[in-house]
Each structure stands twice: as structure tokens, then as C-alpha cells.
Amino acid sequence: MDTFTVITAIALLLIAIGIGYKGNGSWAILAGFALAAGAVIARLWSGGGVMQIGIELLRDTGISLLLAAAYMGVRKLADSARPFVILGMASLILSGLLFGAKYLWQSIWLRDTQSILVELGPDDSIVEIEGILNRYAQSWERAFPAVSLSEDVDLAQVYLIQVSLRNLNSVMDALWADAENVDHVEMNTDVSLSLPPPSQAPIQSSSAVLGDDPYVGMQWGLNAVQAHEAHAILESANPVRKARVAILDTGVESTHEDLQAVYAEGIMDDVHGHGTHCAGLAGAMTNNGLGIASLNWEGRFIELMGFRALSGNGQGSLEQIAQAIIDAARAQADVISMSLGSKSEVQPRVLVNAVEYALDRGVIVVASAGNSNEDAENHFPSNIDGVIAVAAVDQDLSKAEFSNMVGNLSRPLAAPGVDLYSSFLDGQYKPMSGTSMATPVIAGLLGVMRSMNPALTFQEAYVILYETGTELSDTPITGRLVNAAAAISRTAEL
């Protein structure tokens, strides 16, 4: 129930009070009609298309009439309440029929459509471009309705517009031409996962390990980042609080034996498995006699959250990814881990704004560099200012053959990303490769650092990882390889 519905309900309740008032209740009736008129005008001003406005107005009216009828029933005014009940039920039925018609229309006619993202100026309203939208668009709505203007003047003014392919160029041209009201227009393009296959069976570790996790000996990456040495530090360390690491992906299998004890909230990964694999690398409970190890010693340092940036098919739109970033920031994530991205010569404005929204709320944002063996300069979101960009190294600590290069980005780092063993769907474990796998390794380390020093900023965190990182032969193109033990020791000294 939104604000307009509440206002309408109050308006109808005032009318009901006026009708049932023993004296002269005209004051309540007049106030109710004035308030109802204001609610209708506000609903019309909110935009969304004629059909959507009709659905919402009928819904508001139906709910409000039934609430007013209930009040009359309590006051034993059955005769007066009966028309309210009839009209209320009729309004709700009509609203439902319109909603069904809209859904059917969209399923039939919106097959060959493209969605675009339109950002209005801070003082502009969707009503000011409805002439264009009524001419070319099929539907429109606020992209991020939970974000208010006081929170973020850019994201609050973004609208998601559905357009048929035949009208796409026309509406884009018309919107760009309306510079008085429109600040930015971009295609709501899709991002798809593209992972290199695992190259071989997981390599057996030769290092002495502290944890009792049965598969820890198959995790060569722990050796590479000095994780076992970090475990020795964490065994006797006391975090200030648990840090929240948000996996923005296909969701997380919250019931997995190695994740459920450290899982806080989020969306279930029940189809793909990519998000579940990343979650294990970031924060699987360690030294619990189950599965794999991460830096989350005994689950005392990190709790995991899962947000659906990608659908079960491993694909997600810019709007979907931005919404996941917003949701994670609002859920008070300490670290956002994004093992996703795509190539574009222009940074998507909506993702730049969403990342800024997260950074402004103290979130550290980490993103994979991509798996195309090319410069990540044009790979988003890893190239967005403030984001830590992660390249992958192999067992020889050389750049993984598939990994993009991050040397030209402002915050480059490297982590193991070939044949990393981790959690998977249905309680299983398997190796996977990609900068997708390297990213949560660093996100988990950042989570541990935040748990020990919650005031650590994203700038301070990157400086620590950079200064304590290991120089490799490929460091100019991969960034330094993170050293978990050294980074945690440095954080503890602050």
C-alpha cells in the first residue's frame, strides 16, 4: 500500500464519518472529497501510462471504499455501508481485470521490445515527457521506486521505458532532443556470464593447513594468498563485528552445508550455481569439518548476503544489476562482490550512479575484470571509479590466459582464478575458473578486514591491499597479488 492509497483511504474514511455524523457532517464530507481529489491528481501526476494509472486508481478506490464500509459497519450504519461495499468490490474487480488485460497485452505485444533507461533532471517530472512516451512507448515506470530524491537525486529520477523495436530510434532521438527535461538516455542492455572451462582437476595443496575442512587440500588458491598464515592470525583474533559481504550474482544456495551457518539474507540460487560458487570463496564457514575453507575462520568474521543481479540463465540487465547494488547498500553491506560485467566504450550511467550510491554509504565495491584476455579499460563495472578491479592468476602465479588486464585501471588487484574449488548447487562442490572466482577471494578478505576495523574506508582498504600485495612478473597488467596474512596484520595495527 503506497502513499496515494493511504491518502485515498483517509479521504473515504472522512466521507464515511461525515455520513454517519449525528450533527452536521458536511465538514468531514467536504474534507474527504478535497483529499480524494488531491490523491487522484497526485496519482495522475505520478505517470506510468494510462492503463497503469487506471489500475492503481481503481485499486485505491476499492480498498478505500471497503475500509469506509467497515467503519460504517462498526457504527451500525448498514444501509449507508451497502453502496460502499458494492462500489468497492466493483472497483477491485475492474482493477483486477485491467491488470490481467495489461499482462496479456504485454505478453503478446511486448515480445519484440527493448527497454531503455531515462534519467530526468532533478526538478523534472515524468509528466513533462509523456507526450513523447504516449507517442512511442508502450509502458513506463520508475526504475528504482524505493530511492527518494533526498537519498539520490540521480537514481530517483530514472525511469524504465518499454519501447517496440520499430519505435526505438524515434523515441531515443526524441528524448535526447528534450534536453530541458532529460539528463540521460541509455539502452537497458543485458550482461551475460561467460566463463572459461576448468582446465584440470584441482591441484593438491602441499602446505600445512590449520583448518579441518575436508577439501582444503584441493584449494591451491589459499596457499597463493597466504590464507593459511591468515588463519593462524584469525584463530585468536576477535572481530569488532561480523562484516556483511554481498554476492551480487545468480543468488546463493542458503541451505548449502558450508554456507547456511554464515548466511544472513538474500535470494536463492536454485538454477545456475555461479553465485553459490562465489559465495563459498568469499565466506564459507572454515574449520567446521565440512567442505571448503575461506578466510571466514569459524564463521566469526563474515556473514553472506545474496542479491539477484543475474537471472537463473546467468543474464541480467543494467537496471537489474543497479537494483541489486542499491538493495545491497540499503541492507548495510560492508562489501559488494560483482563477478559480472561486459564491454562497452561508454560506462553505463545507471551503474556509475548505483556504485556512487554504494560508495557514499561506505560500501567497498569489488568487480571482476572479465575473461576476454584484453584490456579491461572498457569493461564495466570494473572500470567505474571507486571499484576495485580484479584480474585472475593461475597456479604459476602468472596472468590466467583468459583474464583481462587491469593495469590501466585505478584500483587493480589480482587473486587466484583458475580451478578454484568451492560450493555449488545441491550441497555439492566443484572447481570453476574465471575472474569471477578471483573477485570473491578479494571480497572475502575485505570482509575480514572490515570485521576487524568497521571504519575502514574503501580508499584505505585498497591502499592496504596494494601495499601488502605480492609483486609478480605480470603485476603491471594484473595488479599485485593480495596477501591475506599481511593485509589482516596491517589492518589490526590501525
What cell does 116 get? 531503455
The active-site residue, picked from 228, 231, 256, 274, is 274
Catalytic site includes residue 178: no
Angstrom distances, CA of residue 399 to CA of 189, 227, 236, 434, 474: 29, 20, 34, 11, 6
Q: Provide the H-helix boundaries in 154-200.
A: 168-177
Nearest Cα residue to 387 out of 452, 338, 321: 338
- How far apart are the C-alpha atoms of 386 and 355, rounded to whole Å? 8
Nearest Cα residue to 252 out of 324, 318, 195: 324
- Evaluate whether 379 touches 342 at the Cβ level (below 8 Å): yes
- How far apart are the C-alpha atoms of 261 and 370, rounded to whole Å? 31
- How far apart are the C-alpha atoms of 489 and 374, rounded to whole Å? 34
Max Cα distance, the chain (Å): 90
- How far apart are the C-alpha atoms of 160 and 151, rounded to whole Å? 19
Catalytic site includes residue 277: no
95-102 long-range contacts (CB < 8 A, ≥24 apart) are: 95/54, 95/55, 95/56, 95/58, 95/59, 95/62, 98/51, 98/54, 98/55, 98/58, 99/55, 101/51, 102/51, 102/52, 102/55
Q: Which amino acid is at 9?
A: A
Nearest Cα residue to 117 out of 183, 199, 211: 183
What cell does 177 get? 532532443
CA atoms in the 13 A half-sphere facing the CB of 386: 19
The active-site residue, picked from 60, 152, 154, 249, is 249
The active-site residue, picked from 95, 436, 451, 474, is 436
Q: With b meaning 16 or more CB within 10 Å and e meaning fewer, what string describes 96-120?
A: eebbeebeeeeeeeeeebbbbbbbb
Angstrom distances, CA of residue 441 to CA of 26, 62, 296, 321: 68, 52, 11, 21
Eight-class DSSP state of 212: -
Catalytic site includes residue 60: no
Q: Provide the H-helix boundaries in 142-295.
A: 168-177, 220-224, 227-234, 274-283
Active site members: 249, 274, 436
